[in-house]
Amino acid sequence: MTRPPGSGPGDPSVRADVLADTAVRALRAEALLSPKPGLVDARGSGAHDDMDLPLLLASAEALRPTFRAVADTAKRLVFGAELREELGRLGRAGDQAMSRATGEVNTHRGALWALGLLVAAIAGGAGDERCAAGGAAGLAALPDQWIPAGQASHGELVRRRYGTGGARGEAEDAFPHVIEVALPRLRRARADGRSEEVARLDALLAVMSLLNDTCVLHRGGRAGLRVVQLGASHVLAEGGAGTDRGRSALLELDHRLRGLRLSPGGSGDLLAAALFLDMLPWPGRRLRAELEVTACRR
């Protein structure tokens, strides 16, 4: 079979700078989207007292060289331990770049992890969204012997206490909340004639209604997670962000989450990951009519 143009490393559609630019655009789009329940958005700091929109935008820009380096590295190295360890090193350096840009605030740790793995999988040759998620899962599951020993992260504490997989589990499972929840909801809302803003908000709410978000569990335990999941389900049941009843339920949920200091950061990350996959100029999308097969190379 002739390999379709655009499905492999070196093709203009998967250039490292295009991937980095798309990742930053997705982070900006997620940050700017408003009104998001509990999250930082164009209106303000949500349930946070240490970050706001300008900080999130500065953080997104500070991560551009990391995404670029991740893509370059994934083009250079084959899938395996060396690539995984190199990505770990780049991810940790990216985390430090984020901290320098934000004065030590965790603005995008979860997003860097999800987008970094997806960028690597696509730079390595994944030719469609599912292949990208599968490739990212393969990378996430590989051991990284250089993970520094240190204080357990919030996610680690929550995983031990509640036995939930968190950001690592989501990646190892090939991003089900991105592929099976956010992207279908985004596209269904568009097909129903919803505005882009409403489609994105409904996609976020769909993820919030299902995700075991370690940010929420860490701050609010199981009771907090129930508030988030049931609240988001209720907004969708009222018609979602594009109806009067849904919009007022959304604003009530936002008020409640800010009062309880609950921020669905994991859902924000996964919306950014969905927007990233949705924004990319996939070769398969342009050429689908001419192609019979788009193969997963990882």
Ligand X SMILES: CC(C)(COP(=O)(O)OP(=O)(O)OC[C@H]1O[C@@H](n2cnc3c(N)ncnc32)[C@H](O)[C@@H]1O)[C@@H](O)C(=O)NCCC(=O)NCCS
Ligand Y SMILES: Nc1ncnc2c1ncn2[C@@H]1O[C@H](COP(=O)(O)OP(=O)(O)OP(=O)(O)O)[C@@H](O)[C@H]1O
**Under the rule (CB under 6 A), what is the footprint of ligand Y?**
30-31, 39-40, 46, 48, 106, 108-111, 154, 215, 218-219, 263, 265, 268-269
CB of 244 to ligand X, least distance (A): 31
Q: Give the single-character DSSP code of 149.
A: P
Q: Which is nearer to ligand X, 181 or 241 (CB)?
A: 181
Single-letter amino acid, residue 9: P
- One residue of 6, 37, 88, 224 binding ligand X per CB under 6 A: 88
Which of ligand Y, ligand X, none lies near 168, with the C-beta cut-off 5 to 8 A by kind? Answer: ligand X
Question: Mask: binding to ligand X, 255-284, rule CB under 6 A, as x and -?
Answer: ----------xx--xx--------------
CB of 203 to ligand Y, least distance (A): 13
Contacts of 21 (CB under 8 A, 6+ apart): 64
Answer for the pair 115, 67: CB distance below 8 angstroms, yes or no: yes
Q: For ligand X, which residue has the nearest CB?
A: 155
**Binding flag, residue 56, ligand X (CB under 6 A):** no
CB of 154 to ligand Y, least distance (A): 4
Residue 41: strand pairing partners: 44
Which of ligand Y, ligand X, none lies near 39, with the C-beta cut-off 5 to 8 A by kind? Answer: ligand Y
Q: What is the rounded CA–CA span in Å between residue 271 and residue 269?
A: 5
**DSSP result, 128-147:** SHHHHHHHHHHHHHS--TTP
Within 10 angstroms of residue 21's Cβ, the number of other Cβ atoms is 15
Question: Binding residues for ligand X, how many (CB under 6 A)?
Answer: 30
Phi, psi of 42 (to 5 degrees): -65, -15
Answer for the pair 71, 83: CB distance below 8 angstroms, yes or no: no
**Binding flag, residue 64, ligand X (CB under 6 A):** no
Single-letter amino acid, residue 94: G
Which of ligand X, ligand Y, none lies near 102, with the C-beta cut-off 5 to 8 A by kind? Answer: none
Nearest to 176 by CA among 142, 206, 219: 206
Which of ligand X, ligand Y, none lies near 30, with the C-beta cut-off 5 to 8 A by kind? Answer: ligand Y
CB of 108 to ligand Y, least distance (A): 4
The interface with ligand X within residues 117-136 (CB under 6 A) comprises 117
Stated as kind and residue range, the H or E segment containing 186 is helix 183-191
